[in-house]
Structure 1
Amino acid sequence: MNRKRNTAISLAAAVLSGVLVYSIYVVQLRHVQEQEMVRVVVPKRFIAAGERIAAEDLTYMPLSRSAVNEAMLLQPQEADGWEAVVPLGVDEPVLKWKLDRYRLMPNRSESTFQIPRSYVLSVSNGIRAGDRVMVYVTGENTASVRLFDEPVTVASVKSSNNVEVDNADQSNLMSLADNDKERMYASRRDANAMIDYVNLNLTEEQWMRIDEQCKGGGKLVIAYSPTSFDAVQDGRSEEQ
């Protein structure tokens, strides 16, 4: 009887020991997997906002798998030829939202329309390429209304000499990307010319609405909206 009981106890102890060993193995395996290193893309040097990135500007840095997220680039070729939306520090993992290829190009549902001068009553002298603007319509026989609920993107602002209106020393786009509100303000005060032509990225429906309103006697008022600066701040807040 005692022999059977001892045998049963030994078997139970062996099973428990096996379970304990397996549990330790699973925990260690999971720990090793979490500590497994993944190579992510980082800059070799400081890259300023607005600067176009080349593959040779980038290298790899090992990072634990648990710290890697979907926004991080794993191959330098993914950033080759793209533009830095915000400054990129040395050895800082490159995130997809910090890059853009054609910042002033219209999206798939838009086209870039030059607004005829005869359609425009006034343009805020502070607007610059890359800004988001509100569009209003007014006129003697037209009720004053805001045409679109959301602001639209300015593709370019040109002088009468077909020169982009901006601050030659510190462009608005660079200041916007650097999150530098003071320089943005200064660049709008120290522009190199008056605005004569405005190009907006619009959907076909938006352009048709503008055309219809202006052919009916309305005039456009194009006003700067601070959402351009806010969008950069929001993007940084989400990252943090």
Structure 2
Amino acid sequence: MLSILAALLAALAVYGLYYVQLERVQQEERVRILVPSRWIDAGQYITAEQLAWHTIPQSMATEDMLYTLEEVIGQEAVIPLGTGEPILQWKLNKFALHPNQQQATFQLPKDYIKSISNGIRAGDEVWIYVSQQEGEAERLFEEGIIVASVKTGSNNEVDVPSEMDKHAIVRSNAEQMYASRRDANGMIEYINVNLTEAQWLEIERRCSDGSGKLVIAYHALPAPMKGQMQDDAS
């Protein structure tokens, strides 16, 4: 009986300690963090529709968690992100000029190209069409292709003279990028794009014998610079 009584007292003590700690956590100040609202694959650019808010106690918050939309939207997932897990800084890549894990950066041969939109800059998303000697022209890939760099004949990056405008994409300043396209420091001679192996082999198949030529058209920034989302605090 004494052993049973001692065990019951110990259990009550543990439960009491748990209850006190639970009350303290519930009364503690809480903060909102960003989490994926659904699974996000590695290499995917994050949009507002893929995000949700989640509240946690202040004591559980860490410096590498992200608390604002501007820190997340438009960035690339370095690793897969699970639904509801905290988004940490090291899991994201801000610089979309680099290829993801399934890609490599290819320079498109000049003799494969029929035309390039003059407004294209590094970091843009382009659509690639193929113009054929026989048959109708068609869009080569359903998805947009990210431009790694555009060069002049002297191997200088085609950009704007102002240093303030040159890094607008890094600062996610869409308005400044729009204005900067009115000026440029050279004509595009070479273009490097991020492609999967299958995409590059498809271009080779269509263009290596000279029967097809590429038309490269400016489409958009690689992901929305800013966006709106519904609060989903839980």
TM-score (norm 2): 0.61
Name the larger-Rg structure.
1
Residue correspondence of structure 1 range 18-37 to structure 2 within 5 A: 26-33=18-25, 35=28
**Could you tell me which amino acid in structure 2 is paired with residue 64 of structure 1?**
Q
Q: Partner of 1:198: helix, strand, or coil?
A: strand
1:171-203 alpha-carbon deviations (Å, 9 max, x no partner)? 667323434332111221111111110001111
Residue number among 118, 129, 152 corresponding to 2:122 in the alignment: 129
2:215 paired with 1:221: yes
Q: How many residues align?
A: 177
**Could you tell me which amino acid in structure 1 is paired with residue 119 of structure 2?**
G
CA distance in 2, matches of 1:195, 1:161: 10
**Could you tell me which amino acid in structure 2 is paired with residue 176 of structure 1?**
I
Residue correspondence of structure 1 range 155-194 to structure 2 within 5 A: 155-170=148-163, 174-194=167-187
Contact 2:123 2:221 in 1 (8 A): no
| Aligned-residue identity in percent | 39
Partner in structure 2 of residue 233 of structure 1: 226
**Could you tell me which amino acid in structure 2 is paired with residue 65 of structure 1?**
S
1:45-78 alpha-carbon deviations (Å, 9 max, x no partner)? xxxxxxxxxxxxxxxxxx81355598449xxxxx
Instruction: Report the RMSD for the aligned CA atoms in angstroms.
Output: 3.8
2:191 paired with 1:198: yes
Structure 1: gaps spanning 5 or more residues: 1-18, 38-62, 74-84, 86-93
Q: 1:227 to 1:165 in 2, by over 3 A?
A: closer
Partner in structure 1 of residue 42 of structure 2: none
Contact 1:142 1:217 in 2 (8 A): no
Residue number among 139, 144, 154 corresponding to 2:147 in the alignment: 154
CA distance in 2, matches of 1:226, 1:140: 28
CA shift at 1:239, angstroms?
9.7
Q: 1:229 to 1:171 in 2, by over 3 A?
A: farther
CA distance in 1, matches of 2:192, 2:91: 25
